[in-house]
Amino acid sequence: MDRWQGKVAVVTGAGSGIGATIAKDLHHEGMCVVALDLCGNRLEDIRNSIAFEERSRFYIKCCDVQDEEQVKEAFAFVESELGGVDVLVNNAGIVKSTELLKLDNTADIKLSLDTNVLGVVLCTREAFRSMKERGGDGHVVLINSTAGHITPNIPELPSLNIYPATKYAITSMTEVYRQEFSRHGTKIRITSVSPGAVDTEMFPDHLIDKIRASMPMLKTKDVSSAVLYALAAPPHVQVKFK
């Protein structure tokens, strides 16, 4: 991680779970971190958990990734305060409790699509522009899922509805981004990390104990370690992951 010392990382969905762990780990590795999430106390709580003398490298910003204006505002903040972006971790994602067949479920389905897919497009677009202006180097990480490669059937869970489809989209987008980054003549790398079930609050409280009993679950630190491994690879190495 030496090459990233003092560089700027933006992490979406950083208010809890995987995103919070990644944000804190990147900060611990010496990066300036901008943690993005919905407005609330969680970002402030995470920042307050960092030693006071180290907080100057940890920034928090309210941002709903499905809202284009909020995304543009967040990256404009990064540009003005820190000069731009070097690493983007697209982590924000949701699972809504519905079924594809359920009547009047449009709002829930659209929210999943806009957060899990459109949010990645918006954030990556803004980060790419910044990385290119800073010399054409950088790294974009997409937090994908094994559900983006094979659709799971978990009896303990209600329907996963549109969630696997959003992650299949991320799998395809990873390769599209790799091709586009290359066509633009940059050295920006792309990595998709696809964990299985991770023990986070994404799973409802009334189901989490059943899931833990039925299968091994990853910890958020396991996913963060994979991200750090990809970032630590030499610049000529493309770590894609599946």
* Residues recognised as catalytic: 163
**How many whole angstroms separate alpha carbon 183 and alpha carbon 175?**
12
Nearest to 24 by CA among 220, 217, 197: 220
The answer to whether 193 and 230 are in contact (CB under 8 A) is yes
Between strands 58-62 and 32-37, the pairing is: parallel
Q: Which alpha helices (DSSP H) does the chain contain, by range?
A: 17-28, 42-48, 68-82, 106-113, 119-133, 163-183, 205-214, 220-232
List Cβ neighbours of 145 (8 Å cut-off, separation of 6 or more): 163, 164, 167, 170, 194, 195, 196
Between strands 139-143 and 58-62, the pairing is: unpaired
List Cβ neighbours of 130 (8 Å cut-off, separation of 6 or more): 75, 78, 79, 84, 85
